[in-house]
Amino acid sequence: MTEHQLYPDTWVDNYADYLFNYAVGRVSDSEVAKDLVSETFLAGLKSAKNYKGEAAERTWLIAILKRKVIDYYRKSNSKKGKAEVRMSSSSYGDSEGDWLEEKVADPNGNMADGFMENEELGLAIQACIAKLPQKQALVFKMKTIQGISTEEICNELGINPSNLWVLVHRARTALMECLNQKWFK
């Protein structure tokens, strides 16, 4: 692949499963996830001329999908629509976090200038994190908010990578349930 070239005819074979798994983990609805992946491919085709080759094809498609997920939540509920989230595109690859985790406001001020424009949603997220079981909350914060490597977390907590990802998945699921009850009503 040359630096500035996309290969859209290979997207479905190469990236559909990955994008679908990413989307279904964010929206918890397989039909919506399928629609978001289709919209991602369509948006990718429409904006292919803007592709600069600064990121891998998959990373570029994930960035588009992240925006589609945010748009989905904005459209699906009026309170969700108030959550104005700044998207930052990264040239160094796809991160394990998603829009929610990347944008959590830090109550201790460790993330200067904050990532969320909507302080109220940030506070709701912090309140939901506080309700998680202690180990889930700790692993979730270390991995998705602080960006600590899987290896470091496993060594520090004496767990294996599979256990770490189970804890992160459960935390994400519980956070979305909490936010759906407390914020997105």
Instruction: Report domain extents, the chain.
Output: 1-94, 119-185
Q: Is the pLDDT of residue 84 over 80?
A: no
Q: What is the pTM of this model?
A: 0.44
Rounded Cα distance, 185 and 182, in Å: 7
Q: Which residue has the tokens 């969700």?
A: 80
Dump strand ranges (E) for the chain: none
Rounded Cα distance, 68 and 185, in Å: 21
Rounded Cα distance, 166 and 58, in Å: 24
Residues 93, 88, 141, 77: what is their CA dihedral angle, to the nearest 10 degrees?
-120
Question: Percent of the chain beyond pLDDT 70?
Answer: 71
Query: What are residue 97's phi and psi, to 5 degrees?
Result: -75, 170
The whole-number pLDDT of residue 21 equals: 86
Q: Is the pLDDT of residue 11 over 70?
A: yes
The whole-number pLDDT of residue 184 equals: 65
What is the tens place of the pLDDT at every residue in 107-117?
444 443 334 33
At the second CATH level, the architecture of 119-185 is Orthogonal Bundle (1.10)
How far CA 43 is from CA of 2, 18, 32, 76, in Å, comes to 21, 17, 16, 20
Q: Is the pLDDT of residue 36 over 90?
A: yes
What is the tens place of the pLDDT at every residue in 160-181?
988 988 998 999 899 888 888 8
Side chain identity at residue 126, one-letter code: Q
Contact between 124 and 182 (Cβ < 8 Å): yes
Of the two residues 171 and 78, the one the predictor is more confident about is 171
